[in-house]
């Protein structure tokens, strides 16, 4: 046995101090005040509420188990620590202990399974009167099609308060995951599969979401926003979206759009532009954000974006078209006129 120093900073103490600092910094990451993606204890609708209740049950059970098991462990380590002259007891197997230690966890799991399975089945059911919306996850943005209302939009999802929406979730390229933490929604987007998710907001407001399955360079930049409106307001929004775009075809920006390459990927309803590989731009000017809800929709951001999309958002499929400053300004005017 080596001699141990007794100074205030012995190697053992340093390690303990280091571990404590690591633990403290991990704990500190949970202290953010402005954290719109925090969802524990922030359920904002009946789906999220149901999930939160389930979490509360499981957390309570897990806490009791943690305290019991760790308490016993620490007690045993201290009580039966090595002492000079004491020999450890030697034995092999203990059927009684093994049966008990298998039965207790099995019973706990069976108990937790009852509310869990019930919630899974309840939430999987399509509620009556739900509004159907098809969500398509693409690298790196979201397309929404309001199938009953003939509306297609991107990244910003508008829903009415107090009415469930039934999302049919599809993918075209790689696996994504659609997640709006405070509304309790998370569902994988799997190419070739159709998944469903029910959401409902109880209060009007903005809810942020995020792709939560690594899907390429701009996975972290694949965001989304949900706007929950009172029903009347939502119906007005739908009516606005149903209008074809008001397009000044004689403008310089429109010429660039329809005679250039933009039209090969983007749709504008009421015009010849009907491609679906990029976001539908029919009412682009009415959106608060663009490019996977990553940038606020304003002239400065659009200027930077149009100058070189993949520089602003790595992996973006829209290439740098080498547009001149004048062309960019004309396109910005055109895009913002699409209200
Ligand atoms: Cu899409 Cu990550």
**Residue 181 near residue 276 (C-beta atoms within 8 A):** no
According to DSSP H, which parts of the chain are helical? 11-28, 46-79, 95-124, 231-242, 252-259, 299-307, 309-312, 325-337
Q: Is 328 in the pocket of ligand 1 (CB under 6 A)?
A: no
Which whole number is the average pLDDT over 116-138?
A: 95
Closest atom of ligand 1 to 137 CA is 1
CA-based R_g, the chain, Å = 28
pLDDT attached to residue 90: 87
Q: Is 211 in the pocket of ligand 1 (CB under 6 A)?
A: yes
The model's confidence at residue 12, banded by pLDDT at 50, 70 and 90, is: confident
Query: How are beta strands 223-229 and 185-189 bridged, if at all?
Result: unpaired
Q: Is 136 in the pocket of ligand 1 (CB under 6 A)?
A: no
On the question of pLDDT at 2 being above 60, the answer is no
Sorted by sequence, the CB contacts under 8 Å of residue 2 that are 6+ apart come out as: none
The model's confidence at residue 23, banded by pLDDT at 50, 70 and 90, is: very high
On the question of pLDDT at 80 being above 70, the answer is yes
On the question of pLDDT at 168 being above 50, the answer is yes
Closest atom of ligand 1 to 220 CA is 2
On the question of pLDDT at 339 being above 90, the answer is no
Closest among 134, 135, 183, 132 to 161, alpha carbons compared: 183
On the question of pLDDT at 141 being above 90, the answer is yes
Distance (Å, rounded) from C-alpha 132 to C-alpha 330? 37
The residues pairing with 289 across neighbouring beta strands, listed in sequence order, are 296
Dihedral angle of Cα 247, 250, 252, 257, to the nearest 10 degrees: 50
Mean pLDDT score of the chain: 92
Q: Is 189 in the pocket of ligand 1 (CB under 6 A)?
A: no
- DSSP H or E segment with residue 291: none
Closest atom of ligand 1 to 222 CA is 1
Q: Is 229 in the pocket of ligand 1 (CB under 6 A)?
A: no
On the question of pLDDT at 66 being above 70, the answer is yes
**Residue 270 near residue 242 (C-beta atoms within 8 A):** no
pLDDT attached to residue 11: 77
Residue nearest to atom 1 of ligand 1 (CA): 176
Output the pTM of the full model. 0.84
Q: Is 223 in the pocket of ligand 1 (CB under 6 A)?
A: no
pLDDT attached to residue 89: 83
Closest among 178, 163, 169 to 131, alpha carbons compared: 163
The model's confidence at residue 9, banded by pLDDT at 50, 70 and 90, is: low
Q: Output phi, psi for 116, to 5 deg.
A: -65, -50
The residues pairing with 180 across neighbouring beta strands, listed in sequence order, are 185
């Amino acid at each position: 046995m080596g001699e141990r120093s007794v100074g205030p900073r012995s190697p053992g103490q340093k390690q303990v101090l280091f571990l404590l600092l690591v633990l403290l910094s991990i704990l500190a990451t949970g202290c953010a005040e402005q954290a719109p993606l925090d969802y524990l204890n922030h359920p904002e609708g009946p789906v999220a509420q149901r999930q939160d209740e389930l979490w509360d049950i499981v957390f309570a059970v897990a806490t009791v188990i943690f305290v019991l098991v760790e308490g016993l462990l620490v007690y045993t380590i201290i009580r039966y620590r090595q002492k000079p002259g004491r020999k450890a007891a030697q034995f092999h197997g203990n059927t009684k202990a093994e049966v008990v230690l298998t039965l207790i966890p099995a019973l706990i799991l069976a108990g937790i399974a009852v509310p869990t399975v019930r919630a899974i089945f309840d939430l999987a059911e399509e509620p009556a009167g739900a509004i159907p919306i098809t969500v398509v996850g693409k690298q790196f943005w979201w397309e929404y099609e309001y199938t009953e209302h003939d509306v297609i939009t991107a990244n910003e999802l508008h829903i009415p308060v107090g009415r469930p929406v039934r999302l049919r979730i599809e993918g075209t390229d790689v696996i994504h995951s659609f997640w709006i933490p405070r509304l309790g929604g998370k569902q994988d987007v799997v190419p070739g599969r159709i998944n469903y998710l029910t959401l409902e907001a109880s209060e009007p407001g903005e809810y942020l979401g995020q792709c939560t399955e690594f899907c390429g360079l701009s996975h972290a930049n694949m965001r989304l926003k949900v706007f929950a409106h009172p029903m009347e307001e939502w119906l007005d929004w739908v009516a606005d979206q149903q209008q074809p775009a008001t397009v000044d075809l004689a403008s310089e920006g429109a010429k660039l759009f329809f005679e250039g390459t933009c039209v090969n990927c983007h749709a504008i309803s009421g015009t010849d532009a009907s491609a679906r590989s990029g976001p539908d731009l029919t009412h682009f000017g009415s959106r608060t954000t663009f490019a996977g809800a990553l940038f606020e929709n304003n002239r400065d951001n659009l200027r930077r974006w149009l100058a070189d999309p993949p520089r602003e958002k790595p992996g973006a499929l829209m290439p740098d078209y080498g547009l001149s400053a004048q062309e960019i300004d004309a396109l910005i005017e055109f895009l913002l006129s699409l209200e």
